[in-house]
């Protein structure tokens, strides 16, 4: 390990500057687009269903199409980026998103629309794995949790924007769904232009043995006295299967399973929110959407605060337990108890939005540089596969088993998430990126106490 002089500072400890905020902003743009893409489909389906005569199968497939693409994009593009670099995928992903989003306007069959939304999802999936990785590798440890967790707030703003767009655009005519779905090309194109010229991750360059190039980027953006230390001089040639070897399999299992158990209920419920509220006997109108969207935003902001003041591990486990209890109560309370249903669903929405911040934190902090994009990509792909399956099956489950039983199944998934987190969740708060990836415990007494 290198030793620092009085004038030197490690990259993990540099003060937050404009470059950090720029990388964060470019990463957040992807999450805004993702929230928007996944939010508009519920409104678009209301018009597409009678026009194309959608069966419950195709309704589920279109609802889950972007999630299916996210599975493949996270898995494949995350793996590729560990070999060719972060920056190339950082730009390529938004070329795919922009083109596929715009082409949705011309879709005439469910099959065409499904394929285009899968392509949008592939771009978003690749960006999730690479964007989180780049942000983690550039961020100082003091602010890393907030920066990585804040994407949930931006995602929520994208989802809320989709709700407003859905309400106003679908009133313009029977083909308004075309404008609604293709409108995601606008933010995607803006983000693509802004990402041109983004530097490569110096940690990735250092791992490839390109020390001079890595330090040139560090000195340009953080100062001549900043050192990038604790990184292996040459990255070992890790293969995808190394994620399941003795060294990484526990962190791979934890990040994949907790991520899956959180997002299955999230996407299953909110993709088909209008239909679910109708089955629950609640009215779906602009006021209801405004209330739920407000709770999503407040919850996401609350999640940032909790990420700062709470242990990562405690926040995750407590949220899983609370959410499971909420869904269990929703499955048992009769539809006539409207006030109770609204209060519990509001509490569920608030906490679900808050804890969703951690899906951007844990995976990026759990893997070392040599497999970080692969690890983050695999965890994200598993979550999107689970979400796609859950979203695709939800309409069929409601028809065959009813809402109470379906809600109870989702509660059971959250219980599994709590068990996995109790068994395997690490405490990464307060650690350098290298120490967190190596599974070390915080040395600060406050952090150590919260991890117990």
5-57 pLDDT tens trace: 556 788 878 888 889 888 888 888 888 888 888 788 878 888 888 888 888 78
Return the pLDDT at 280. 56
Return the pLDDT at 436. 54
Greater confidence, 277 or 348? 348
List Cβ neighbours of 238 (8 Å cut-off, separation of 6 or more): 82, 370, 371, 374
pLDDT digits (tens, 9 = 90+) for 223-269: 888 877 654 444 444 566 778 888 888 888 898 899 889 888 877 77
Cβ distance 375 to 243 under 8 Å?
A: yes
Return the pLDDT at 353. 86
Return the pLDDT at 322. 95
Is the pTM above the cut of 0.85?
A: no
Return the pLDDT at 284. 55
Q: Is 175 exposed, middle or buried (0-12, 13-18, 19+ CB in 10 A)?
A: exposed
CA distances to 98, 256, 341, 359 from 351, rounded to whole Å, are 32, 20, 16, 14
Q: For residue 228, give both structure tokens.
A: 């990038």
What's the average model confidence in pLDDT over 102-109? 93
C-alpha 115/C-alpha 110 separation (Å) is 9
Q: Is 197 exposed, middle or buried (0-12, 13-18, 19+ CB in 10 A)?
A: exposed
Return the pLDDT at 5. 55
List Cβ neighbours of 324 (8 Å cut-off, separation of 6 or more): 411, 412, 414, 415, 418
- Strand partners of residue 227: 10
Q: For residue 75, give both structure tokens.
A: 């898995």
pLDDT at 278 over 70: no
Q: Say what percent of the chain tops pLDDT 90.
A: 17
Neighbours of 392 (CB within 10 A): 23
Tokens 């950090």 locate to 20
pLDDT digits (tens, 9 = 90+) for 390-446: 767 776 777 777 777 888 888 999 999 999 999 998 887 765 555 555 555 554 433
pLDDT at 203 over 90: no
pLDDT digits (tens, 9 = 90+) for 313-327: 899 999 999 999 998
Domain-wise residue ranges, the chain: 9-451
pLDDT digits (tens, 9 = 90+) for 348-380: 989 988 898 887 788 877 777 777 777 877 887
Return the pLDDT at 444. 46
Give 153-192 as a 3 state SS string.
HHHHHHHHHHHHHHHHHHHHCCCHHHHHHHCCHHHHHHHH
If you average pLDDT over every residue of the chain, what do you get?
80
Return the pLDDT at 305. 85
pLDDT at 452 over 50: no
pLDDT at 98 over 60: yes
Greater confidence, 452 or 28? 28
Return the pLDDT at 235. 44
Return the pLDDT at 232. 46
pLDDT at 290 over 70: no
Q: Hey, which of 137-141, 196-200, 304-308 has the most confident mean pLDDT?
A: 196-200
C-alpha 251/C-alpha 249 separation (Å) is 6
C-alpha 379/C-alpha 75 separation (Å) is 8
Return the pLDDT at 106. 93
Q: Which CATH superfamily is domain 9-451 in?
A: MFS general substrate transporter like domains (1.20.1250.20)
Return the pLDDT at 12. 79
pLDDT digits (tens, 9 = 90+) for 57-84: 888 788 878 878 888 887 788 778 878 8
Greater confidence, 305 or 321? 321
Return the pLDDT at 298. 87
């Amino acid at each position: 390990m290198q030793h620092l002089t009085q004038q030197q500072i490690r990259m993990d400890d540099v003060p937050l500057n404009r470059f950090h905020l720029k990388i964060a902003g470019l990463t957040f743009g992807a999450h805004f687009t993702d929230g928007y893409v996944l939010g508009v489909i519920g409104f678009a389906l209301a018009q597409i269903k009678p026009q194309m005569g959608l069966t419950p199968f195709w309704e589920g497939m279109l609802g889950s199409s972007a999630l299916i693409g996210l599975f493949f994009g996270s898995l494949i593009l995350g793996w590729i980026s560990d070999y060719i670099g972060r920056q190339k995928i950082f730009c390529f992903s938004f070329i795919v998103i922009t083109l596929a989003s715009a082409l949705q306007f011309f879709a005439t069959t469910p099959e065409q629309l499904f394929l285009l939304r899968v392509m949008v999802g592939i771009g978003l999936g690749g960006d999730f794995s690479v964007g989180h990785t780049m942000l983690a590798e550039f961020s100082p440890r003091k602010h890393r949790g907030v920066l990585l967790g804040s994407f949930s707030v931006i995602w929520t703003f994208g989802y809320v924007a989709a709700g407003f767009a859905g309400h106003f655009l679908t009133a313009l005519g029977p083909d308004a769904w075309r404008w609604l779905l293709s409108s995601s090309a606008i933010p995607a194109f803006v983000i693509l232009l802004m990402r041109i010229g983004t530097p490569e991750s110096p940690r990735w360059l250092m791992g490839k043995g390109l020390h001079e190039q890595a330090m040139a980027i560090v000195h340009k953006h953080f100062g001549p006295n900043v050192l990038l230390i604790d990184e292996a001089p040459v990255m070992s040639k890790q293969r995808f299967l190394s994620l399941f070897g003795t060294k990484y399999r526990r962190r791979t299992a934890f990040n994949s399973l907790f991520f899956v158990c959180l997002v299955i209920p999230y996407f299953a419920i909110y993709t088909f929110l209008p239909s679910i509220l109708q089955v629950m006997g609640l009215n779906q109108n602009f006021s209801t959407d405004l209330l739920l969207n407000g709770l999503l935003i407040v919850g996401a902001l609350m999640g940032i605060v909790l990420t700062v003041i709470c242990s990562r591990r405690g926040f995750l486990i407590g949220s899983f337990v609370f959410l499971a209890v909420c869904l269990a109560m929703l499955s048992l309370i009769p539809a006539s108890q409207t006030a109770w249903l609204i209060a519990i669903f509001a509490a569920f929405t608030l906490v679900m939005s808050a804890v969703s911040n951690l899906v951007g934190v844990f995976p990026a902090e759990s893997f070392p540089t040599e497999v970080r994009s692969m690890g983050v990509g695999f965890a994200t792909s598993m979550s999107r596969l689970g979400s796609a399956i859950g979203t695709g099956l939800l309409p069929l489950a409601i028809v065959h088993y009813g809402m109470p039983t379906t809600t109870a199944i989702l509660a059971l998934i959250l219980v599994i998430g709590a068990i996995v987190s109790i068994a395997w969740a690490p405490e990464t708060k307060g650690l350098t990126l290298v120490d967190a990836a190596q599974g070390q415990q915080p040395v600060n007494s406050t952090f150590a106490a919260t991890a117990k």
